[in-house]
Amino acid sequence: MCCADLPVACAEGWPKPSPSEGARRAFERDYSGFVTRTKEGSCRIELAVEGVRCASCMQTIEKGVGALPGVSKARLNFSDRRLAVEWRGNLEVRTLLDRLEALGFKAHPFDPKRPDATETQELKRLIRALAVAGFASMNIMLLAVSVWAGNVSDITPETRDFFHWMQAIIALPAAAYAGRPFYESAFRGLRAGRVNMDFPITLGVVLSLIMSVVETLNGAEHAYFDGAVMLLFFLLIGRTLDQMMRRRTRTLAENLSALRSETAAKIFPDGSVHDAPLSAVAPGDRVLVRPGDRIAVDGVVEEGTSEVDQSLVTGETALAPVRPGDRVYAGALNAGGVLTLRVTAAAAGTLLDEVETLMSRALEKKSEVLLLADKATRLYVPLVHAAAALTAIGWLVAGGGWHAAILNAVAVLIITCPCALGLAIPAVQVVAAGALFRQGVLLNSGDALERLAEVDTVVFDKTGTLTLPEPRLLPSSCAPQVLETAARLALSSRHPLAKALADAAESRQTFADAREFAGSGVSAVIDGIEARLGSPAFCNAEREAQAALCEEPDASVICFRHGEAPPVVFLVRQALRDDAVDTVTTLRRTGYRVLILSGDRADAVSRAAEALGVSEWAAGLSPKDKIARIEALKAQGCTVLMVGDGVNDAPALAAAHVSLSPVTAAHVSQAAADALFMGRRLGVVLTALATGRTARRLMQQNLVFSALYNVAAVPLAAAGYLTPLIAALAMSGSSVVVTLNALRARSHGGAVPAGERADRAGAPSAAFQPRTA
């Protein structure tokens, strides 16, 4: 309906909107641009949800949104707090946002093109609150120790009251500021009609402060300001660590978007070329791609020859020559000549879109993986409330009075604070992450350690993972002078294979008149005679190149011809990492099942598998094929670690139970991987697996200790043997024990424990029958 029709419609009897409703409609945001269509015809939107703290929040959101009419799927990715909703019918996005707001959560459409500062702002807020709580705790404890010492000696009541009031002056504003993340979360939950885990924390802190002020007014010996502020300090440590780990997952969509071009040089029917937005480019149109441009569309080359970086498809770092009839894909980089393409997909449906969709769906599957601490704390809120209420009722029934009832109930709330429970996982994560960092491994996911501990199957990509990313020149029998001339000529080429030859040049001086021909090679006049370096056809050396490849079928060739002299063929190969054989041998010996899944040629993969002693391998795989293979392994009950490099590995990295990627990988793979490793050593895979097992054991120990601590401490607090002060000290002591135990993750040893499911490692499935070259 247009605006001109509105008065007529109202005059015909429709209810006229009130001024406030009209204003809301006038300023209502249009969310249609964020809604997409699935292959099944459903509507889909991804929402960024704020305020998600634990597993109960996740369940509340999924059940609450899933109950709306027409909603077929509501899945929350716990790692980045992204909610994917699919529905059929006339459901409006505003209805979804209103439902989330009614549940106590703020939400807005997830837009990867717009930098979202919410996570950064929240982290800064937590750090400020942590700093305030820590500073206040230190100063309050200095005053509290003086009171404790004075209570057993000769402190006067006036001096004690003065010290208590000094503690109050510090504690009250500090607790009001530092506790805001918990207070606001508890209030939102109450407003939505639910009680979350932050409510008992808020209740314990507030009651402790109120009791402390009352005790100070009455001139009592004890006040509990120190316990309240220390409680907030330790809780904020856990909350800040969680936020820091979560923030690192937000670069995934941004890195993918960096491969996109917003416009394309469209060739119009009159022959003119103008930059046009992708929305104005349709299949069948022609576009021009200049040297150095990133290709914006999927298409077929109609005119021109060049070399393009097709790592998005093949995972290979080498530039691939393209000529008329070859297919190229959005996201590839044109490194050579000018190309004219016939578009097959532009604004939507490109291979880049497919990779992004595959990765998004694979990441959603991980939303079902909950942290161990979340599993252990699901029943925390009702149990703590029940214990505190029963304590208060019991003391009232026993005739202890309101003072004793409230005092002991507060002690129960404080001593059962989930401080040790909240640190049980983050403390181990931080220590283990530091140990891995010193070994060259960077964690990119908060629960990567637990998932590394569960691995029984390791899947490797070949190129750039088992092999070094840069190619190496194989030994040649040619004369040293010929090698030096060819190497100096290679200095004028941008081809990656030429770089391997150029590294052999003793002199770094190029030939002055060297010219490079895109997709062919480089030539120069040397000593009055033309010299050529490049492809076999460019150097008229097809027969010699074919003979060399018969001896080294997995190598690449660079040919060199100087005048009428016989051509020389140089062989270049990506060599295995120095410790690849030892690493794979150790994995297999300790019970892990090892496979190779690669997009490279079969002969190259076969040679690498034979050198590593791996019988299960597959070559020529697309991103879809790799995901299908990993899903087949998971269907067999395998827990898969994927170690891969390249954008084409990104969906497989996300689909695996846990993943590792070299730090030299493309940005998308780094974001999709749960951990990154630096340097040339593959042995860090062993280190990561060993650290994961150690970390899981320490996490379990911390959780068991936290549970036993509560079982032993709650009865004592309920019986009146523990004041809020002692309860706070006991709570702090439990946190110290948990932290000290977590420090043991620094010395994991480095050896990989024997596989716990070694019986499965020696039984290849039908989907991965051993292959021979």
C-beta neighbour count of 585 within 10 angstroms: 14
For residue 92, what are its two tokens?
Answer: 């409006």
What does the chain come to in residues?
773
Q: Evaluate the CA torsion angle 15, 21, 23, 25 in order and state its sign.
A: negative
Task: Establish whether 579 is a catalytic residue.
Answer: no
d(CA 658, CA 640): 7
For residue 760, what are its two tokens?
Answer: 């499965």
Q: What is each CA distance from 103 to 28, 399, 402, 423, 535, in whole angstroms? A: 21, 41, 35, 27, 65
Per the DSSP assignment, residues forming a β-bridge with 562 are: 531
Q: What is each CA distance from 462 to 508, 621, 685, 743, in whole angstroms? A: 32, 11, 15, 36
CA 149 to chain centre: 50
Q: Is 369 exposed, middle or buried (0-12, 13-18, 19+ CB in 10 A)?
A: middle
Beta-strand pair 457-460/640-643: parallel
Residue with the two structure tokens 């030939």: 511
d(CA 161, CA 154): 14
Out of 298, 447, 456, 461, which one is annotated catalytic?
461
For residue 117, what are its two tokens?
Answer: 């500062």
Residue with the two structure tokens 């919410």: 118
Give Dmax (Cα) for the chain.
112
- 240-270 as b/e: b if 16+ CB within 10 A: bbbbbbbebbbbbbbbbeebbbeebbbbeee
C-beta neighbour count of 155 within 10 angstroms: 16
d(CA 612, CA 227): 59
Residue 161 C-beta-side C-alpha neighbours within 13 Å: 10
In contact, 661 and 653? CB cutoff 8 Å: yes
Query: If we measure between CA atoms, which residue out of 383, 374, 375 comes closest to residue 416?
Result: 383
d(CA 23, CA 20): 5
**Residue ranges with strand state E in 384-517:** 441-443, 457-460, 472-473, 515-517
- 412-429 as b/e: b if 16+ CB within 10 A: bbbbbbbbbbbbbbbbbb
Catalytic amino acids?
A: 461
